[in-house]
Structures are given as C-alpha cells and as structure tokens.
Amino acid sequence: DIVMTQSPDSLAVSLGERATINCKSSQSVLYSSNNKNYLAWFQQKPGQPPKLLIYWASTRQSWVPDRFSGSGSGTDFTLTISSLQAEDVAVYYCQQYYGTPWTFGQGTKVEIK
C-alpha cells in the first residue's frame, strides 16, 4: 500500500493569512505515460462528507475558489490556502489514486487563530 503522510496534524492561521499543508507519499504517484500525479485533496467540514477540491495534484474543481491551490510532483505535495477565510475551517485530506488500495492521509485540521 502507498502510505500518505500529512503535516502538520493541525494548524491555526489568522484570517487572511496563508495556510500550507504538506502531503508525502511512500512512493511516487506520478504516472509516466501521461505525466499526471494521481493525487487529490479533499475538504471535510464537521458533519459533512468530504468534498473533492483538487485532483491531478493541481487541478481545481470548478466550484473551488482560486485561493486554494495544489502543487508538487512525485512524492511531495502541498495544498495552499492563500488567504484563509472563516468558511475554510475544516479537515483536509490528501489521497492517492495511483493504485489500489486508494489511500488517504491522516488529515490536517485547519482552524482560525
């Protein structure tokens, strides 16, 4: 199984400031035939199912504000919220879909400082 490790486990950021979450996979999730990283980011608010924010490491879903961005390749990835808003308080998960079993990181809780 590919193990996904996120850091930090939690972070508190002031409104309008940048939040950065890291995700590391135990092996590369870059598919060489199409040069795509099979890495997704999800946002989960309390009492709700997760929502897909980003796939292919950096492609935002249509509904996602552009303050959210994904970057990285191979085994190291980052989710950045450029200017934290109150509605961004949530737990964020990275997930690899390079191969089954699909695996998730342990989650990063983002709060307002």
Partner 1 sequence: QITLKESGPTLVKPTQTLTLTCTFSGFSLSTSGVAVGWIRQPPGKALEWLALISWNDDRRYSPSLKSRLTITKDTSKNQVVLTVTNMDPVDSATYYCARSILPAGVPLDYWGQGTLVTVSS
Please report, as ranges, the residues that interact with partner 1 according to CB under 8 A: 1, 36, 38, 40, 42, 48-52, 55-56, 61, 93, 95, 97, 100-107
CA distance 70 to 82: 11
Report, in Å, the least distance between residue 81 CB and partner 1: 20
Nearest to 97 by CA among 111, 81, 77, 112: 77
Nearest to 54 by CA among 36, 63, 37, 42: 42
Nearer CB in complex with partner 1: 13/105: 105
Report, in Å, the least distance between residue 40 CB and partner 1: 5
